[in-house]
């Protein structure tokens, strides 16, 4: 099933956005009168009829709207982008498919990448949302320094930072589910001792994600999945 994305569809005069309209009309050869499926990224699926043959202003008629219930817990991962941008694109794609609510890109002391193209990552998240037939698009935040992020995350609950040490507990062994969680994943050189100290001062719990050293994007995906496993205990 091919799904189109339009965050503004629920308006008085719905018009399919030009990029999606071009894909529908020019690439897939949809025509006036055809019925398509649209998601708004806010929890709603729509069945709509194409009312125009002009892809630059593709008017549509909403036939049906179906709202989906959002999961009863929130998943937020803060991650230091890798030098190889494709690996970070892979992380965004797969975590969107798994299910994630927020992604924050962090600049750490050992970060090799100083900037990230959020617009590009957004397109990848949109494609993954449509491919996995999900109704909610994750929020992607611009890159910011870890010290700034710490100050902005003071009110977050259930805060974890992945930093392998034998004495740290494994995240997957957390005894109970939580309605909101924030997990930090460091750069390829890991967090510095100074950053770990700042994390502890800001009430982050040090956790392991397993017994092996993981690549940054692998740790992010595994951590996201483990949070889902933990919260599957919620009835």
Domains and CATH numbers, the chain: 3-67 (2.40.240.20), 74-231 (3.40.1280.10)
- 22 class by beta-carbon count within 10 Å (0-12 exposed, 13-18 middle, 19+ buried): middle
Cα 199-202-206 angle, rounded to 5 deg? 40
* Mean pLDDT (the chain, rounded): 92
pLDDT per residue over 6-48, tens digit each?
998 887 788 888 889 888 888 989 999 999 999 999 999 999 9
Cα separation of 136 and 139, whole Å?
A: 9
CA 75 – CA 153 distance, rounded (Å): 14
Q: What span, in angstroms and rounded, lies between the C-alpha atoms of 120 and 104?
A: 14
Q: Using one digit for the tens of pLDDT, what is the confidence trace for 162-174?
A: 998 888 999 999 8
Q: List, for residues 182-203, the tens digit of each pLDDT value.
A: 999 999 889 999 999 999 999 9
Q: What is the pLDDT of residues 146-162, one digit of tens each?
A: 999 999 998 888 999 99
Can you tell me the distance from the alpha carbon of 120 to that of 127, in angstroms, rounded to the nearest whole number?
Answer: 11
User: Binning pLDDT at 50, 70 and 90, where does residue 226 land?
Assistant: very high
List, in sequence order, every residue forming a beta bridge with 76; answer none if it has no partner: 102, 182
Pairing relationship of beta strands 159-162 and 15-16 according to DSSP bridges: unpaired
Q: CA-to-CA distance for 128 and 91, rounded, in angstroms?
A: 11
Note whether 79 and 111 are within 8 A (CB): no
The span from the CA of 104 to the CA of 77, in Å, is: 6
Q: Which residue has the tokens 């929020």?
A: 139
């Amino acid at each position: 099933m091919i799904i189109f994305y339009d965050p503004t569809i629920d308006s008085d005069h719905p018009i399919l956005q030009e990029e999606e309209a071009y894909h529908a009309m020019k690439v897939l050869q949809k025509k006036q009168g055809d019925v398509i499926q649209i998601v708004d990224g806010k929890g709603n699926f729509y069945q709509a009829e194409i009312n125009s043959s002009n892809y630059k202003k593709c008017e549509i008629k909403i036939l049906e709207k179906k709202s989906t219930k959002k999961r009863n817990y929130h998943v937020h991962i803060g991650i230091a982008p890798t030098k190889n941008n494709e690996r970070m694109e892979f992380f965004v794609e797969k975590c969107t498919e798994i299910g994630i609510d927020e992604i924050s890109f962090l600049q750490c002391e050992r970060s090799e990448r100083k900037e990230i193209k959020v617009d590009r990552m957004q397109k990848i998240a949109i494609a993954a949302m449509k491919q996995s037939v999900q109704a909610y698009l994750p929020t992607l935040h611009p890159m910011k320094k870890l010290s700034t992020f710490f100050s902005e995350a003071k009110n977050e609950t259930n805060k974890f930072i992945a930093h392998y040490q034998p004495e740290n507990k494994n995240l997957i062994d957390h005894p109970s589910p939580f309605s909101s969680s924030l997990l930090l994943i460091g750069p390829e050189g890991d967090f510095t001792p100074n950053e770990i100290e700042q994390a502890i001062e800001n009430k982050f719990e040090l956790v392991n994600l397993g017994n092996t050293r993981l690549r940054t994007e692998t740790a992010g995906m595994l951590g996201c999945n483990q949070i889902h496993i933990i919260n599957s205990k919620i009835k």
